Structure 1
Amino acid sequence: MTSELAEAVVDLAAVTGNVELIGGATSAAVMAVVKADGFGHGAVPAAMAALAGGATWLGVTSAAEALALREAGITAPVLSWLHGPYTDYAALAAAGIDVSVNTADQLHTLVQALGRAPSTTENDKKVPFLAHVHLKIDTGMSRGGAGTDGWPELVSWARKYEREGALAVRGVWSHLATADTSPIGVAAQAAAFAEAVAWARDAGLRPDLLHLANSAAVFTAPRTHYDLVRAGIAVYGVEPVPGRTFGLRPALTLRSHVTLVKRVPAGTGVGYGHDHVTARPTTLALIPLGFADGVPRAAGGRAEVLLGGVRRPLAGRVAMDQCVVDAGDLDVHPGDPVTVLGPGTHGEPTAADWAAWAGTNPHEILTGIGPRVPRRYARSKERA
């Protein structure tokens, strides 16, 4: 292990293999979502591994995330979808980043920003930046996207600006709310999406890309695939549908080591508040990872780690920088390796296990692994 205290080892071969598996489940193109620093795996390495697996698009949340991909030399198409009134649309257009638009007002802001932007020069001829936009319709998520009352106005203005050469409508899209739990909900959203697309086409728009499916829908709802599927958590190897497996391989392993060992008698209180009191003589092992590093405080009292080849429970509350493992009668020494989470192939807990213990989802577990935990990139053969 290269870090003094801990490291997160990211298996890039797993990312590539997961994208290949996703691509094999659909005839549509694949967008790999690398927002939130690639779900905690590292946006740039994850993006490159996903592209190697056949992804042709990348998805991010913000302008900063999108521009960071370009600064790293990644030239693949990128869609950025969450923007405020102060977004630098000119910078996005100049970098060839596609932009999602929710409302007519947002569309006006984008066009005005490009109108004030400098032009590029090609063969001594001034060429204005042209925005490629994806219009988002809210089909039932009640989050981003135009509502049914705002959709006609958004479509009308988009068509007007497109005719004037200010932008090109490349896509129409929406996001599914219940693809992992409710086929009925998916069917209702798919119907609403089809109506929105028909409205856009009646207005004269001819988007190249229609996209609705997320990770769960890739495997469960083929009618939602259209031209492009957006895979997020599945790219990183977390099965997106509870109770079902599709062959995905988790890509991240969080490892640390024991820093201190002590033998204590029965009746010893452990950690803040002494929530945990030892029932018998036992060995306690201190691990230098806490909730600032992504070990959720809410998992205290239920969570386990892999120590000495077996799972052992955490004892007491998870602190900001450290936690305590009840090692029982194991022969434990400072420096012994501890696997906090991983693929599960050696008996270690997975991100899904931690999510269950903490009452959350694997997304929060993976993205919560803090920046002071260094990422090391490897491929499967290096992790034997």
Structure 2
Amino acid sequence: MLTTWLEIDLGAIQHNYHLLQAISQRPVMAVIKANAYGHGISGVVPALTRVGATWCGVARIEEALEVRRFSREIQVLVLGYTHPFWVEKALAQDICLTVFDSQTAEAYAKRAQAIGCELRVHAKVDTGMGRLGVLPDAAVDFIRWLMTLPGLKVEGLYTHFARADESNPAPTLEQIRRFDGILETLTIMNLRPRWVHASNSAAIFNFPQARYDLVRAGIALYGLHPSPETPLPPSFRPAMALKARLVSIKTLPPGSGVGYGHRYVTQDHERIGVVAAGYADGIRRILGNEVLIHGKKAPVLGTPCMDQIMVQLDDVIEAMPGDEVVIFGGQGGNFISVEEVARRWGTINYEVVTNMMARLPRIYVESKDEEVG
């Protein structure tokens, strides 16, 4: 029996994938970087493949190679930088790379041409993120030049929105305007690549005009809100729960310090439980955490330790060692959301789930994927 684990509902991810397809009316690139946002590539990729997913996006070549361990069918795009050293491996594993400068593109082309192959690439344009990508004024010439390089097959063009999850649409509309101008020129020149994409999770909902040929869904795929300003429809289902075991219960007398630094001191005889989860599992080392035991919220006392937290059980009289404890997720009709935890920790839901540690076993369940109409 496990003492600390992540429970991942693959049925929820499949359900969310189908919702995103229905909403966008486009192929969905499932973004599975950062170990599928903490949910685990080993479980998520086969689950998506089973429901017909055709694209996934990762940040690094190492993640792309991990995808290939679990699916030969799905198309894989590395969205970040890849050193030219990896070109031969990318070709062998049918992995598509991103290009955003001439030096790297030439290095890719040279290595691919040397072995008589064509490397599939997507060109990236920086329309306002200030990150990777050729600037808009140079984009058309860059694409035209890329298409002349032996060894490269330019099959895609994309950009990334910086503020699509905000209530103010103006910055994203300006990015769309810049991107559309590039596309219009490329189309006139008969140079428009097959796959044009820009929309992240928030933009899928907020900017339907930017869905183009493909949409990229990350946070929404896992049933988590892109931002407070862009909440998901209620039909989406969160996929991750963090759970642990209650391993000890004892009654401490008044004036007893609890945990490092005694940041909590008992006021009376108090029933204190120890839960086998701590900051080495991803729980933040702050005051004010809560958990669910028997469907009831119980406060975490004092500072979380590396491997354990202490909880107040005076209001959960039925609690016994061995009981399941939920740090986030549902239990007994009650629920602690990742977003609630993120607010308490002073961060965002993305960081909560991607910071779930590797030592946590991922236990996969597959609830029914409710039909999307």
Q: What is the TM-score with the length of structure 1 in the denominator?
A: 0.89
Question: Alpha-carbon deviation of 1:153?
Answer: 5.2
C-alpha distance 310-275 of structure 1, shift in aligned 2 (>3 A) = same
The match for 1:309 among 290, 295, 309 is 295
Question: Are the counterparts in 2 of residues 313 and 326 from structure 1 also a CA contact under 8 Å?
Answer: yes
Which residue of 1 is the match for residue 31 of structure 2? 33
Q: Report the 3-state secondary structure (helix = DSSP H, G, I; strand = E; otherwise coil) of the residue aligned with 1:210.
A: strand
Inter-partner Cα distance in structure 2 for 1:271 and 1:319: 7
> 1:201: how far off?
4.2
1:106 has 2:104 as partner: yes
- CA deviation vs aligned residue, 1:123-147 (integer Å, no higher than 9, x gap): xxxxx22111110011111112122
For residue 180 of structure 1, what is the amino acid of its counterpart? D
Superposition misfits of 4+ residues, deviation over 6 angstroms: none
Q: Of 81, 90, 107, which residue of structure 2 is paired with 1:92?
A: 90
Whether 1:252 and 2:237 are equivalent positions in the alignment is no
Give per-residue Cα distances to partners, 1:95-116, cap 9 Å, x unaligned.
2111111111111121122234
Q: After superposition, give the CA deviation of every residue in 1:217-272 in whole Å (9 maximum; x if it has no partner).
A: 11221011011000001111112242633121011121111112121233332222
Q: 2:278 aligns with which of 287, 290, 293?
A: 290
- Distance in 1 separating the partners of 2:28 and 2:321: 45
Distance (whole Å) between structure 1 residues aligned to residue 103 and residue 244 of structure 2: 49
- 1:87-236 → structure 2 map (5 Å cutoff): 87-116=85-114, 118=115, 128-148=116-136, 150-152=138-140, 154-161=142-149, 164=150, 166-181=151-166, 182-201=168-187, 204-236=190-222
CA distance in 1, matches of 2:218, 2:125: 20
Q: 1:106 to 1:295 in 2, by over 3 A?
A: same
Q: Are the structure 2 counterparts of residues 84 and 30 from structure 1 closer, same or farther at C-alpha, using a change threshold of 3 Å?
A: closer
**Alignment RMSD:** 2.1
Q: Measured at CA, do residues 266 and 200 of structure 1 come closer, stay the same or move farther in structure 2, by a change above 3 Å?
A: farther
For 2:173 and 2:50, how far apart are their aligned partners in 1? 33
What amino acid is the match of 1:19? Y
The equivalent residue for 1:355 is: 342
One of 238, 252, 262 as aligned partner of 1:264: 252
SS of residue in 2 equivalent to 1:64: helix
Percent identity (aligned): 33
Q: Which moved more, 1:18-27 or 1:339-348?
A: 339-348
Residue 364 of structure 1 corresponds to: 351
* Structure 1 residue identity aligned to 2:173: A
In the alignment, is the contact (CA less than 8 A) between 1:169 and 1:206 conserved in 2? no
Q: How many Å separate the matches in 1 of 2:207 and 2:342?
A: 25
Structure 1 residues without counterparts, runs of 5 or longer: 119-127
Which residue in the other structure is 1:122 paired with? Answer: none
Please tell me whether the aligned partners of residues 23 and 54 of structure 1 are also in contact (alpha carbons under 8 angstroms).
Answer: no
**Paired position in structure 2 for 1:242:** 228
**One-letter amino acid matched to 2:39:** H
Q: Aligned partner of 1:151: which letter? A: A
Indicate yes or no: 2:23 matched with 1:7: no
The equivalent residue for 2:371 is none
How many residues end up aligned between the 2 structures? 365
Distance 1:221 1:52 in 2: 29
